[in-house]
A and B are shown apart, each in its own frame.
Chain A
């Protein structure tokens, strides 16, 4: 008894806390250990993300003469072609995202309503194109959509049209090709969120007097919105930086942001200007992500539920 209390007294600080120093040291030791475990991952992130982005930003601040200047950014406001590229990029991104929602929502809905076996077979057909290279798929579309491609030959043979439709080497071609590539990015998160909707909620809706269509609009659709939002964000952001399909399907008429970057760096060897394009795209993307985050956060705090 007296021995125990004596050793306790030794550990007691003047302010009366027992073992406080030892416990604090233990907590610090644990934190150091965890940081040591994390450090390989953190250094990788630093090396492949933080350093290149910092370098990109640094490059964008120098003009062709190697002088520190804001000329690369001033170009966005001065040159009409830059503004046109910016507008085209957003036009394509909006259009492709819209088309993906239009085709993807019914597709995801169908998948979510199918029996488990049939759904997994159909899902394979959604995922299968993922395993094929974007380049190959784009060339395939070019074959199908060009002046003397499959679609035009068939339609002309059937007598539906007299002249071939301009489906490739223009905006329509870019939109069709990109929508095909983007569709799985929308369908997969949407399907997952639709699958997680409680069937009893839909049954409750009908039980309480809502017709099947009212149940869809008032219960199923609102509950699938978080999945739709994440799909839309993924597709939109991917569209903003997309290169292969617009480069091949646009026929040089549809210049998007990433193509502009490629031209600037490889054709004109203007690394500063190219870097500035990259920084602006990154900024716009982050701003968009922030906006969607805010929108989804607003939902979580019940703004949507009040209507």
Chain B
């Protein structure tokens, strides 16, 4: 598989297509988008900049407005206010068929009355591309999504993964300025979905098209994206690279939505952050005075016995339950104030040797550099 991929990249025609796609990538500038359905406000003064060639994911729970934003980008839904600029050109009032934006739909939306070839040729036909060139470009697109030779197949003869690839080929064959994807992998089973995530990411790296991807699956977003915009109730809570988003969430919502978190209340006063009478060691700059929440990730906690060493905060706790999960174990512990925290670690023999029993008092440690505070809403 790896060899065939490198072989295809040596194909001069394919190289030319990849190059022209990369050149056609344009930045998107979204600002002041307002959308109301009836009296219900769905998007509020939403702004977002996507760099040329970037893979940006809109991540959020259902009802957060991410799909509505995508529909406004594609032109299927009219916003009440706002601006969308693609490469500096305003497109907010442009009808969808003139926008030159490729889209992959959640249920693929392949045309059931056309075979694979005609599905992929459809955008070229609308653009009055000659028959010979159409055949050539469809062939190349099929090659790109590894469906060579399936052009004559009917859509209902394809598997879910193959339909996904046809939808993708159809969305990029006309070299659009932008590609939008609306939860394109949600209908696939888990293993195929994970395979397609890697494949989509690689395809994006090769083609370099500006991509806006919508999902509610945080793992998918983290795997694929250059940047993730976390949306909640019609607003963007935080937009950052996946590793920043995970390590340094700025709000309680982001910390809770991406990865597992426990929250421990802390108070900032007299030039220090205080946790149950002890001063918290931390690397981040001091927040504003008042109450805050410390975000505790299960894998950032560890068991420390006896003396603490270096820049570590010690939290005395009682073990509630220990659950063995094969590769790792989860330990639910209760702090002195009755608050639950979760600890997760891999089952290495040295860790397993000193695994605590339920009811046993333990000391949990968290490094100063792992201390993250968010506002207590």
Assess whether B107 is interfacial by the CB under 8 Å rule.
yes
Q: How large is the interface on B (under 10, 10 to 19, 20 to 34, 35 or more residues)?
A: 20 to 34
Q: B123 is contacted by which of A201, A209, A219, A306 (Cβ under 8 Å)? A: A209
Q: Decide: B126 and A207 in contact? CB cutoff 8 A.
A: no
Point out the residues of chain B lying under 8 angstroms from A219, CB to CB: 111, 113
Assess whether B127 is interfacial by the CB under 8 Å rule.
yes
Question: A203 vs B171: C-alpha distance in the bound complex, in angstroms?
Answer: 13
In the complex formed, the residue of B with least CB distance to A202 is: B109
Q: Decide: A208 and B114 in contact? CB cutoff 8 A.
A: no
- The binding surface of chain A is classed by DSSP as helix
Point out the residues of chain A lying under 8 angstroms from B206, CB to CB: none
Q: Decide: A302 and B154 in contact? CB cutoff 8 A.
A: yes
Q: Decide: A205 and B118 in contact? CB cutoff 8 A.
A: no
CB within 8 Å of B: which A192-226 residues:
198, 200-201, 203-212, 214-215, 218-219, 222-223
CB within 8 Å of A: which B82-121 residues:
95-103, 105-107, 109-115, 118
Point out the residues of chain B lying under 8 angstroms from A218, CB to CB: 122
Q: Decide: B74 and A205 in contact? CB cutoff 8 A.
A: no
In the complex formed, the residue of B with least CB distance to A219 is: B111
Point out the residues of chain A lying under 8 angstroms from B174, CB to CB: 208-209
Q: Decide: A208 and B118 in contact? CB cutoff 8 A.
A: no
The verdict on A208 contacting B113 (CB below 8 Å), with A200-B105, A200-B107, A203-B96 known, is no
Assess whether B170 is interfacial by the CB under 8 Å rule.
yes
Q: How large is the interface on A (under 10, 10 to 19, 20 to 34, 35 or more residues)?
A: 20 to 34
A306 → chain B closest CB, angstroms: 7
The verdict on A222 contacting B97 (CB below 8 Å), with A208-B170, A210-B122, A214-B126 known, is no
Q: Decide: A209 and B127 in contact? CB cutoff 8 A.
A: yes
Extra contacts, 8 of them, besides A207-B99, A208-B97 (Cβ < 8 A), are A206-B95, A207-B96, A212-B97, A219-B111, A304-B113, A305-B115, A305-B118, A306-B115
B175 → chain A closest CB, angstroms: 12
B157 → chain A closest CB, angstroms: 9
CB within 8 Å of B: which A251-307 residues:
302, 304-307
Residues of A within 8 A of B (CB): 198, 200-201, 203-212, 214-215, 218-219, 222-223, 302, 304-307
Assess whether B324 is interfacial by the CB under 8 Å rule.
no
Point out the residues of chain A lying under 8 angstroms from B113, CB to CB: 219, 222-223, 304-305
The verdict on A201 contacting B115 (CB below 8 Å), with A207-B96, A207-B101 known, is no
Point out the residues of chain A lying under 8 angstroms from B76, CB to CB: 203, 206-207
The verdict on A205 contacting B122 (CB below 8 Å), with A198-B107, A200-B109, A212-B97 known, is yes
Point out the residues of chain A lying under 8 angstroms from B102, CB to CB: 207-208
Question: A205 vs B99: C-alpha distance in the bound complex, in angstroms?
Answer: 12
Q: A203 is contacted by which of B95, B105, B126, B127 (Cβ under 8 Å)? A: B105
Please, could you name 24 A-B residue pairs with CB atoms under 8 Å apart, sorted by A?
A: A200-B105, A200-B106, A200-B107, A201-B109, A201-B111, A203-B74, A203-B96, A204-B103, A206-B75, A206-B95, A207-B74, A207-B102, A208-B102, A209-B174, A210-B122, A212-B97, A219-B111, A219-B113, A223-B111, A223-B112, A302-B115, A304-B113, A305-B113, A305-B154
Question: A197 vs B224: C-alpha distance in the bound complex, in angstroms?
Answer: 32
